[in-house]
Amino acid sequence: MQRKIAFFDIDGTLTSEVDGSIPVSAIQSIQEARANGHLMFINTGRCFQNVEQRFRDIGFDGYVCGCGTNIYCDGRDVFYHPQNHETIMIILEVARKTDVDILFESRKEVCFDLSRPLHHPKAVYHYEVFLRNGYHMPEDLENPNFFSDKFVIWYESTEQLTAFRKISDRWFDCIDRGGTFREFVPRGFSKATGIQFVLNHYAISPDNAYALGDSNNDLTMLSYLKNSIAMGNAQPPTLKEQVAYVTTNASQDGIKNALKHFHFI
């Protein structure tokens, strides 16, 4: 039997699109696939500190975090690419000038710029969730020891986004997450580069690699592998036209059905 490897997005893929829970069938099928000798990886835009314990408890062989900027294999930190303080301070300055809400992310912490009140309701919502869940959120962003791996912004007008990107595009790629929410990842890094690093690490052919996702944030990894799988709840719907296979909704045994279809279990 040839060993295969599967890469899972988290939100809307590993978790139910209905209530954010992890379907029991997803947990059981991932564990069964590992018992059958296959490798199971999370591949997420989240930095490692934001990969909740409930996901780690499922049992994975590793994690591709922060859109390929931080990679863990078999419990070891095997790759890390942080940004330097100077670059992040330039981003912070332009965020303040354009009046966008910004959230910096690293493998150890999340940091909102609270130099003025958060404007966007979704930014306020996420801040309150992080606060409620006890996340470490330092507020002294000008501290020379502060840095970040990637960041997201919420904005109100296209003019804000355009002005912000005139600076950010020098170092970061912008991912459209829908509405007025954008994710920024260091140039040259993506969920696809993370996949290739892991394939090289284990000497596995791309022909034996599978990617499962549900949104535009997953497009780089879905388009990178021929064995690409979209969840039935994928948005936008056009994403389903760009993959090899469409499984059922995450809440309707989507992970289990995909792993059965491709003979992991």
Domain that holds residue 173: 85-186
How many folded domains does the chain comprise?
Answer: 2
Task: Classify 112 as helix, strand or coil.
Answer: strand
What are the start-end ranges of the H helices in the chain? 24-35, 53-56, 85-98, 121-132, 158-168, 191-202, 219-224, 254-261
Place of tokens 């996901």: 55
* Domain end marker among 186, 207, 232: 186
Q: Are residues 97 and 130 in the same domain?
A: yes
Side chain identity at residue 18, one-letter code: V
Per DSSP bridges, beta strands 101-105 and 172-176 are unpaired
Specify the residue for token string 């879905």. Answer: 222
CATH number at residue 29: 3.40.50.1000
* Domain end (from 135, 159, 186): 186
CA 145 to chain centre: 25
66 and 197 assigned to the same domain: yes
pLDDT in tens, the chain (265 residues): 789 999 999 999 999 999 999 999 999 999 999 999 999 999 999 999 999 999 999 999 999 999 999 999 999 999 999 999 999 999 999 999 999 999 999 998 999 999 999 999 999 999 999 999 888 888 889 999 888 999 999 999 999 999 999 999 999 999 998 899 999 999 999 999 999 999 999 999 999 999 999 998 899 999 999 999 999 999 999 999 999 999 999 999 999 999 999 999 9
Q: How far, in Å, CA of 103 to CA of 110, rounded?
A: 7
The answer on 162 and 72 residing in a single domain is: no
Do residue 146 and residue 225 come from a single domain?
A: no
